[in-house]
Amino acid sequence: MSWSSSDFRPSAEVFGKNGVLEEQKSPRFKKRETQVYVGNLPLDISEEEIRCLLKDFNPLHVHKIQNGCKCFAFVDVGSMQKVALAIQELNGKLFRKRKLYVNSNRRSPKRTLDVTEWTQELLGLEKTSGQGFARTTASTQLVPKASVDPCKTEKPRTSIFAVPMEMRGSFLALLLRECFRDLGWLATIHSVGGDVGLLVTSIVPQTPFFWAMHVTETLHQNMQALFRALAEAEEQQPYLHDSAVRRGTRCLAEYQLGDYGWAWNRCWVLDRVDSWAVVTFIDFGQSATIPVQSLRSLDSDDFWTIPPLAQPFMLEKDIWSSYQVIHRILKGKITGALNLELHILKFEEFK
C-alpha cells in the first residue's frame, strides 16, 4: 500500500493559507513572519511580564502557551527586522536563571508536519523484519542491595502500580460515551494478540503503563481518513467562544508529533481553570494544558466516527525511565491482559 501527497494535506499549518489566519476567525494571531518564538519560560510567568521582556521591540501581541511542564510564547513584534533584532538580543540570555531560546516563528520544512512522511515511515517500519524498530530505553530501576548472607536465596521483588485514572475502564467508558456515543471500542481492543508493532504515543514515567497505536492496515486507513478530514476542516472550524469551553467539550487543538511538527487533532476537555483548559488528545493518550482561546470547535459527529487511534498497554517486565521511546515503534508480543482492566494489554518487547 502506498500514499501520494494528495492523500494527506499537512495539518500543522495553524495560520491558514500562506501562513495567515483570517482576522475574523482569530484577531489574536498575526503573520508568522513578524512573530518571534520565546522558549524555556518560567511556568508562572504572565503575558505582561513577557511584554516587558521584549519591551525594546514594542510587542503588539503575546500568545503564551503552557504544555505540561513546558512554557513558551509567540510574540508579534510587527516586522521581520525586529524579529531578527530580538533573536540577536535575547537568544541565550538568562531570565530567572533560565536560558531563553528565542527564534523565528517561520517553521522550516524539516519541522513542519508531513503526514505522508509519518505514515509511510510507519508502514516501512512495520514491514521490516526486526530492523528499524526502536529499542526502548526504559529499564527497571535497580535498588542498591544491602550485604546479605550468600547462603540465603533472595526473593524477587514485585512492584505494584496503580492503574492511571485516564486508563481505567470507568474513565474510558465516560469518554467514549461523550465523544463517540459508542462503547464498542472497549470490547474490541482486548482481542489484539500475538506478535505486534506498537507506535508509542505517551508513557507514564516510572510505571509500566503507556499508550500506543497498534500498527496494522486498519490503523493506516483510519489515520489516512482522520488526518485528511481534519486537514480539510481545520481552517473552517471556528474558535470556540469562552463560554463554550467546559468539561466534556469536544474540540480541536494542536498536538506536537515530535520532530514531525505540529498538527491539529481531536481532543476532549477534562477541566478548566480560568483561561486554561486541561484536554486529553483522544488519539494519542496525552493530556495537556492549553489556552482556552486556542481551541477550535469539533462537535460534529462526523469527526468522531473513527475510534481512538491509540490504546492503553503495560510492559510485562519493565518500567519506563525515559521519554525517548515516544513516537518510536517497538516490536514484541502481547502476553495477556491486566486483571479487572481487560482493555489494558500486557506487552513484552523483543530484545
Burial class (CB in 10 A: 0-12, 13-18, 19+), 111: middle
pLDDT at 279: 92
pLDDT at 325: 86
Residue 262 or residue 2, greater confidence = 262
**Three cell numbers at 215?**
500498527
pTM to 2 decimal places: 0.59
pLDDT at 85: 85
pLDDT at 290: 87
Confidence of residue 120 (pLDDT cuts 50, 70, 90): low
Average pLDDT over residues 212-226: 91
Question: For domain 35-104, which CATH number applies: 3.90.79.10, 3.30.70.330, 2.60.120.260, 3.90.650.10?
Answer: 3.30.70.330
Cβ of 32: how many Cβ atoms within 10 Å? Answer: 21
Confidence of residue 157 (pLDDT cuts 50, 70, 90): low
Burial class (CB in 10 A: 0-12, 13-18, 19+), 272: middle
**Angstrom distance (rounded) from CA 8 to CA 117:** 9
**Torsion over CA: 299, 303, 304, 309 (sign):** negative
pLDDT at 189: 80
**Angstrom distance (rounded) from CA 266 to CA 260:** 18
**Three cell numbers at 248?**
466534556
User: Topology of 165-349 in CATH?
Assistant: SH3 type barrels. (2.30.30)
- The structural domains of the chain, with segments of one domain joined by +, span 35-104, 165-349
Q: What is the mean pLDDT of the chain?
A: 76
Confidence of residue 258 (pLDDT cuts 50, 70, 90): low
pLDDT at 129: 35
Q: Is the pLDDT of residue 313 over 80?
A: yes
Q: E-assigned strands of the chain?
A: 35-39, 61-67, 70-76, 94-95, 98-99, 101-104, 194-203, 209-214, 250-256, 262-273, 276-281, 286-291, 296-297, 311-315, 329-338, 341-349
